[in-house]
C-alpha cells in the first residue's frame, strides 16, 4: 500500500512513496485522499519505485499533478550517481540515476503493462531483453545552436524549449563528442553562421567518419533552392572548411533550409516526409555504414538506426531466419531490413515515403527488390496493391487479388501504423507480421487491432537501443 505522510501535505510540499515508473520517464504515486474523493495521480521525474521522496507540484490538472523532485528521503538500492554533469537539467536522458540492469527490468515492466492496458494482452511469453554498452552508443546526435546572448550548442532543457549549453554527451560516440568540442571552439571564434539553428552529427559504424547536417533558418520561399537571408552560402563553406580543418574525420556537410522550430520533433517530421530540399552540399553528402555484412549508403536527411552497438542484433532479431517467396517491407527507410530480407526471399517490395531515405533505399538493395515511393497508407489503399498482375514473379496474391507475401515487416515512426494501416494489414492474407516499434503506446494501440484479425504474439523482444532514456525498441513477431 502507498505510504503517505499526511502531515507533510500542504500547498507546496508533499512526502510520498513512488509506486512504479511509467512510459515517458516519470514515476507514479498517489496523492492523499481529501474531501473531494480519492487522491490524484502524481507524476515525478528522476525517481525509482519504492523511494520516499519530497515533491513540489508544478502543474495541476483535473486528474493528475506533475511535480518536481525536491529530495529523495529513502533512496532505492538501485539509485546510482549519474555520469553526466547535465543530468536532471537536460531533457535528453531520464534514467542515469538508475542502475542499468534495473533500467532494463523497468522497461520490460512498462512494456508488459502497456500491452496489458491498451492492447488487452497479457503476454504469455517472456520478453527477451537485448542490450549492449549503455554509454557512447549514439551514432547520430542532434543539437540546437543559440547565438544570443552568446554562442551555445546544446539540447533542450528538461521540460523546456530553452537551450541548455552542453559541451559533452556521454551517450554519444567519441567522434561526435570531438565534433561537439570543435563546434564550440568555432562558435567562440565567431565562425558559426548566425542563421544556423541546429546541427546533426552522424558517425559511421567504426566511428572514423562524420557527416554533418546543418539546419538553417530562412525567410525565403520554401520552394526556392537557395540560402535565404544572411549569411550567404560562402559563409557556410567557410564554416564547413573550418570544421573539417578542426576535425578531418568530417567528410561533408549538408545544409537544409528550415524554419527555426522550437519543437525538434516537427523538424524531424519535415525531413521524414516531403520536407526541405538540400540547399547546399559541401564535400561528400553521404556516409557508407557497414552493418550485417552490407555497406549502406546513408545521405543527409535519411533515417538510420542510432545505436551503433545494437544495429546488427536488431536486424538479426527482425529477420529471424525467415525465408519464402515474397516479403513486404513497409517504412523501409534506407533499406536496413530490406537488404537482409532480399537474401532470404525471392522478391521483396520496399515502401518508403521520404525522398531522402528513398534515394538511399534504391541504392542499397539488390535487383530482387522493387522500391516504391509512397506512404504505407496510400500504398495499401491503391488498386496496384490489391489487384492486377504480380509486381514481380514469385510475389503471390490471394484469392481476391490482394498481395499475399509470406512476411510483412513494419518499422513505423513514433506515431505507429494507425488504425487504417493496421486494419488493412489485418485484411491481407499474410501468415506473419514483424512489428518494430519505438513507442510502446502506439504499438499497443495497433496491436489491439491486429489481434482482432487473429494474429497472436509468437515472440516479444525489447532491444534497448536508447539506454539512459525512457525510449525503447520493441520487436514483436506475430503469426496466425
Contact 37, 83 (CB under 8 A): no
How far apart are the C-alpha atoms of 352 and 80, rounded to whole Å? 42
Mean pLDDT of 208-229: 67
**Beta strand residue intervals within 183-259, DSSP E:** 196-203, 210-217, 250-258
- What pTM, to 2 d.p., does this model score? 0.90
Report pLDDT for 273. 44
160 contact partners, CB below 8 Å, separation of at least 6:
91
- 412-461 pLDDT, tens digit per residue, is 999 999 999 999 999 999 999 999 999 999 999 999 999 999 999 999 99
58 contact partners, CB below 8 Å, separation of at least 6:
66, 67, 68
Sign of CA dihedral 189, 192, 197, 203: negative
How far apart are the C-alpha atoms of 30 and 432, rounded to whole Å? 42
Predicted confidence (pLDDT) at residue 396 exceeds the cutoff of 60: no
Residue whose C-alpha is closest to residue 266's, from 255, 278, 258, 257: 258
98 contact partners, CB below 8 Å, separation of at least 6:
48, 78, 79, 80, 106
Q: Grid coordinates representing 160?
A: 523546456
How far apart are the C-alpha atoms of 312 and 333, rounded to whole Å? 16
Sign of CA dihedral 97, 100, 104, 109: negative
Between the CA of residue 261 and those of 158, 191, 198, 264, what are the distances in Å? 17, 23, 10, 7
- 138-191 pLDDT, tens digit per residue, is 999 999 999 999 999 999 999 999 999 999 999 999 999 999 999 999 999 999
Looking at residue 31, what DSSP letter applies? Answer: P
Q: State in words which class domain 6-79 has.
A: mainly beta
Q: State in words which class domain 307-479 has.
A: alpha beta
How far apart are the C-alpha atoms of 212 and 141, rounded to whole Å? 10
Topology (CATH) of 140-289: OB fold (Dihydrolipoamide Acetyltransferase, E2P) (2.40.50)
Fold match flag (6-79 vs 140-289): yes
**Of 51, 312, 473, 479, catalytic:** 473
Exposed / middle / buried, residue 447 (Cβ in 10 Å: 0-12, 13-18, 19+): buried
What residue ranges do the domains of the chain occupy? 6-79, 140-289, 307-479
Active site residue 84: no
- 374-392 pLDDT, tens digit per residue, is 999 999 987 655 444 444 4
Cβ count near 383 (within 10 Å): 8
**Of 438, 452, 458, 479, catalytic:** 438
Active site residue 438: yes
Amino acid at each position: 500500500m502507498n505510504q503517505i505522510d499526511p502531515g507533510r501535505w500542504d500547498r507546496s510540499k508533499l512526502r510520498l512513496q513512488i509506486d512504479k515508473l511509467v512510459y515517458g520517464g516519470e514515476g507514479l504515486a498517489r496523492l492523499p485522499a481529501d474531501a473531494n474523493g480519492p487522491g490524484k495521480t502524481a507524476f515525478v521525474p528522476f525517481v525509482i519505485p519504492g523511494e520516499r521522496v519530497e515533491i513540489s507540484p508544478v502543474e495541476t490538472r483535473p486528474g493528475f499533478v506533475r511535480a518536481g523532485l525536491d529530495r529523495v528521503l529513502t533512496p532505492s538500492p538501485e539509485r546510482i550517481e549519474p555520469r553526466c554533469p547535465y543530468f536532471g537539467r537536460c531533457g535528453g536522458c531520464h534514467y542515469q540515476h538508475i542502475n542499468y540492469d534495473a533500467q532494463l527490468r523497468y522497461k520490460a515492466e512498462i512494456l508488459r503493462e502497456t500491452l496489458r492496458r491498451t492492447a488487452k494482452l497479457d503476454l504469455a511469453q517472456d520478453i527477451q531483453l537485448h542490450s549492449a554498452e549503455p554509454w557512447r552508443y549514439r551514432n547520430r546526435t542532434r543539437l540546437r545552436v543559440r547565438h544570443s546572448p552568446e554562442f551555445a550548442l546544446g539540447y533542450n532543457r528538461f521540460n523546456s524549449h530553452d537551450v541548455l549549453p552542453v559541451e559533452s554527451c556521454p551517450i554519444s560516440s567519441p567522434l561526435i563528442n570531438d565534433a561537439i568540442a570543435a563546434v564550440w571552439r568555432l562558435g567562440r571564434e565567431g565562425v558559426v553562421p548566425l542563421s544556423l539553428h541546429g546541427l546533426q552529427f552522424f558517425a559511421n559504424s567504426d566511428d572514423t567518419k562524420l557527416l554533418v547536417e546543418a539546419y538553417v533558418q530562412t525567410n525565403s520561399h520554401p520552394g526556392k533552392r537557395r540560402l535565404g537571408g544572411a549569411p550567404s552560402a560562402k559563409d557556410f563553406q567557410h564554416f564547413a572548411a573550418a570544421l573539417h580543418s578542426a576535425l578531418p574525420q568530417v567528410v561533408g556537410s549538408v545544409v537544409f533550409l528550415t524554419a527555426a522550430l522550437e519543437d525538434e520533433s516537427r523538424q524531424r517530421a519535415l525531413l521524414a516526409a516531403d520536407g526541405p530540399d538540400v540547399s547546399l552540399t559541401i564535400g561528400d553528402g553521404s556516409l557508407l555504414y557497414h552493418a550485417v555484412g552490407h555497406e549502406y549508403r546513408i545521405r543527409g536527411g535519411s533515417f538510420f538506426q542510432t545505436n551503433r552497438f545494437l544495429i546488427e542484433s536488431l536486424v538479426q532479431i527482425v529477420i529471424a531466419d525467415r525465408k519464402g517467396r515474397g516479403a513486404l517491407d513497409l517504412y523501409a527507410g534506407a533499406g536496413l531490413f530490406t537488404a537482409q530480407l532480399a537474401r532470404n526471399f525471392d522478391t521483396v517490395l520496399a515502401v518508403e515515403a521520404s525522398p531522402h531515405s528513398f534515394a538511399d533505399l534504391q541504392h542499397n538493395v539488390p535487383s530482387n527488390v522493387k522500391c516504391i515511393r509512397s506512404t504505407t497508407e496510400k500504398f495499401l489503399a491503391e488498386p496496384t496493391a490489391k489487384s492486377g498482375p504480380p509486381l514481380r514473379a514469385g510475389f503471390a496474391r490471394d484469392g481476391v487479388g490482394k498481395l499475399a507475401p509470406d512476411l510483412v515487416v513494419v518499422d513505423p515512426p513514433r506515431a505507429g501504423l494507425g488504425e487504417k494501416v493496421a486494419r488493412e494489414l489485418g485484411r491481407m492474407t499474410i501468415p506473419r507480421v514483424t512489428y518494430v516499434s519505438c513507442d510502446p503506446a502506439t504499438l499497443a494501440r495497433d496491436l489491439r487491432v491486429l489481434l482482432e484479425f487473429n494474429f497472436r504474439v509468437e515472440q516479444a523482444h525489447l532491444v534497448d537501443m536508447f539506454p539512459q532514456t525512457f525510449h525503447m525498441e520493441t520487436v514483436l513477431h506475430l503469426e496466425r
